[in-house]
A and B are shown apart, each in its own frame.
Chain A
């Protein structure tokens, strides 16, 4: 049975991330790099709620991102969905992930996600892999998302509600001392 409270929370979560992407990210750049809140939404869903939620939230976050941008529609949806699913699958067998490790996973997943999106855009006629700032974008976005994960992951856990992978010794409930 569909838990509409949870669905509405996830919608609110993605919408909030979209507003941050539109209004905050372009105005507060790090080394000229725009933070990627939408990819962070997909990864946070994977970390907080597993592969299924990671895939679905990643798809809708990516689709929303594509709708705001001039590139091919659906490309970020595909990339973010795969990344959200992969992160969730990676963590599904792990009972406990300490906060710092979760942030580290977000960093790596963001870098993989950015590269996946860049490869996808290249396949569709873009010149993203030839972008001279590609590695700066990948590294800086990863680090920024890793830092933001300390705030965003608890919000993602809230969106998932009782099903969040956090109870007691769960991954988000464990605090690295």
Chain B
């Protein structure tokens, strides 16, 4: 028998063509050629319902699977929920019906900050199809709901990211845990600095702008600075200072920040209809 693939005429020619095609597509995408964007939007529209439908259909199996593979996490989650249940039972919430729960969900969505900025509620949908996309989330609202690239995304607790890509009825949110996202921040003492993510599940750091003499303590709130041309409006809660490291060489203090929003359990979010200055 001939060696596998030996009958092929020109595999080298084929791979050269494929590489050239790939580089062409990468270049066209980088230049925002309209036809590429249109194809992408079309595919996203087609993919979204498939992903959502299969996600719903596989829910019981997924729950069982998670029970098997994440037993340790489930135990700690169970403990956390028991504590919440204890707290809630004191408020006679246990007797509430579904309507009451929806009402409470709506209350949760009442964002206590940025009162003057109009908001759009969205639900985090299925959509991360790769392990390398853990610093992004997809939401079920897009340009038809008035969303635009750069708009901040928050939960009732605080900032979670900003819109990176917008399709007709879907958007991609770049989370603040992404190491490429730098945010101007303000401390309780009005000192200004710049913070950034270091990856999902890793500390959020403020490692620029906070001098050794600046007044900062553990537990201090960290909010967006909203300075001129900032990517976010002022006063959006980011987190609280967890630890402070004094860096004598660079004459700065490096702050490790506990994010106020739980990015691992995103469900409903709100998009602030606010666009950063170009």
A interface with B by C-beta (< 8 Å)? 19, 21-34, 36, 49-53, 55-56, 58-59, 62-65, 67-75, 77-78, 81-82, 85, 88-89, 91-95, 117-118, 121, 124-128, 130-133, 137, 141, 163, 165, 167-171
Contact = CB atoms under 8 A, between A and B. Distances in A.
Contacts of B131: 32-34, 36, 133, 137, 141
Contacts of B265: none
B30 A59 contact: no
Contacts of A64: 43
Nearest to A136: B131
Contacts of B199: 127, 130-133
A127 B129 contact: no
B18 A59 contact: yes
B129 A34 contact: yes
Given A34-B131, A77-B21, A77-B25, A170 B51 contact: no
Given A22-B129, A71-B133, A131-B199, A31 B69 contact: yes
25 contacts: A23-B53, A28-B61, A30-B69, A34-B129, A51-B11, A52-B11, A55-B18, A56-B18, A63-B25, A71-B132, A72-B26, A73-B28, A74-B23, A81-B22, A82-B15, A85-B11, A89-B11, A91-B4, A121-B132, A126-B132, A130-B179, A132-B199, A132-B201, A163-B7, A168-B1
Nearest to B17: A55
A165 B4 contact: yes
B128 interface: yes
Contact of A170 (B4, B22, B126, B164): B4
Contacts of A82: 15, 19
A1 B202 CA distance: 55
B6 interface: yes
Nearest to B128: A26
Given A21-B129, A59-B18, A126-B180, A95 B134 contact: no
A65 B44 CA distance: 11
A121 B135 CA distance: 13
A147 to B, nearest CB: 14
B136 interface: yes
A159 B126 CA distance: 30
Interface size class of B (residues with CB under 8 A): 35 or more
B80 interface: no
B39 interface: yes
A74 B22 contact: yes
A55 B4 contact: no
Contacts of B51: 22-23, 26
B218 interface: no
B50 interface: yes
B172 interface: yes
B102 interface: no
B8 A59 contact: no
A78 B23 contact: yes
Given A92-B4, A128-B132, A170-B1, A78 B15 contact: no
A92 B6 contact: yes
Interface in B23-53: 23-26, 28-30, 36, 39-40, 43-44, 47, 50-51, 53
Contacts of A71: 132-133
Interface in B124-172: 126-136, 164-165, 172
Given A23-B51, A68-B43, A34 B11 contact: no
Contacts of B180: 125-127
| Residue among A68, A72, A117, A130 having the largest count of chain B Cβ atoms under 10 Å | A68
A131 B133 CA distance: 10
